[in-house]
Structure 1
Amino acid sequence: MMTPDTDVLDTGTGLQQLMGDRALYQQILQRFRLRYRDAPAQARAAWAAGDPVVAARIAHTLKGAAGMIGARQVARLAHALESASNDSLLAALEAALQALLVQIEVVLREDDAKTTPAPYAATHMPTSMALVQHLASLLDVGDGAAVDLVERSAEALSHTLGKPCYEALREQVLQFDYEAALALLPADALLP
C-alpha cells in the first residue's frame, strides 16, 4: 500500500501500528472515513456555540485517530486546533481532511490483499487479568495493536470485564480514544 503523499496518508506507519494486519487497517480506514469526515465542522459548531471543551475534545480524538492511521498532516493540524480555535486553522484542517478522505478511497480500492502479512497473533496472549493488563499497557502507549486485541479477544475480555464494560471499552478503542478506554479498566489492571 503506497500512497503518493505520505504526509497525507502514510500507510506504512498505519500498518506498522497494527502489526502489519492489512485487513484490520482497511477496516479502521473505513471507520475513520465514516466517523471523522465531519469533525472540523463539528469543532467549528462547538466553538461557535461557546463550548471550547467539546471542540478541543473533537480535535483531540481526531488527532489520535489520524495518528493511528498514519495521517500526519491531519494529526498535526488537529493537535494545533486542540489549544487554539481560529478560522484559518479550521479551514486548513478541513482541506487536509478532504485530501485524506480522497487518499483513503484510493487505498481502500487497492486489491493487493494477496501480500497480506499474518495478523497479530492474539492466540499467544495471556488469559484473564493478565490479558486486561496487556491491553492497558497497549492503551497507555497508544499502540494500535489494542484495536486488534480488543477485536480478537472479545470473549475473554467480555468474560473478565463483564459485557457492559467490554462493550463500552470496545467502543472507545474503535474510536481511537485510548484515554477513555483506559479509564474504563479496573484499577488492578493499571498496576505496573
Structure 2
Amino acid sequence: MKKRILPLLGLLAVMFFFSSCSYNSMVKKDETIKSKWGEVQTQYQRRSDLINNLVATVKGAAANERGTLEAVVNARAKATQITVNADDLSPEKIKAYQAAQGELTQALGKLLSITEAYPDLKTNQNFLALQDEIAGTENRIGVARKNFNESVQDYNSSIRTFPANITAKMFGFKEKGYFEADATSQKAPEVKF
C-alpha cells in the first residue's frame, strides 16, 4: 500500500510545484498588463488635458469655427467618460474605449487642419507649442499601446499553453483584449492640393 501512495504523493507534489510556478507567473504577467494599461490611460489623459489649451488657443484666432471646436470638446467629454478597469480588460471593453478615443482623434485632426485657413494661428507660439506637445503625446500613446499589446500577447500565450492552461482555468485567468487598428485608419487619407 505504501509503495502505491508514495509515487502518487510524489506526482501530486510535482504537479503542485509546477502549478504554483505557473500561477505566480500568471499573476506577474497580469500585473504587468495592469501597469501597461495605466500607462496607456496616462497618455490619453495627457492628450485630453492638452486639448483644452489647444481649443482655447484656436478659439481666439478662429472664432467662426465653432462647430469644429464643439465637436472636439464633445468628443473629449465622451472619451473621458469611458473608463476601463484594469481588472476587466476584455476585448469588448478595450474596443469601446478605443472607439471613443478614435472619435477624439478624428475631431482633433479636424481642429489641427483649421490652421491652414488662419495664417495668424500658424505663427502663434502657444498654438505651435501645443501642436508639438500633442504630436509628441500621440507618439507616446502609440508606444504605450504597443507595450500594452506585447504584454497582453505574453499573458494570453502563457494562459493558453500547457500545463499553465490548467492552472489558468482553475484560478479563473481569462484572456485580455488587444488594442486594434481603428477602422478608419484602414483607408489611406486623401491629399488634395
Provide TM-score, normalisation by structure 1: 0.31
Higher helix share: 2
Ranked by relative contact order (alpha carbons within 8 Å, sequence separation 6 or more), the top structure is 2
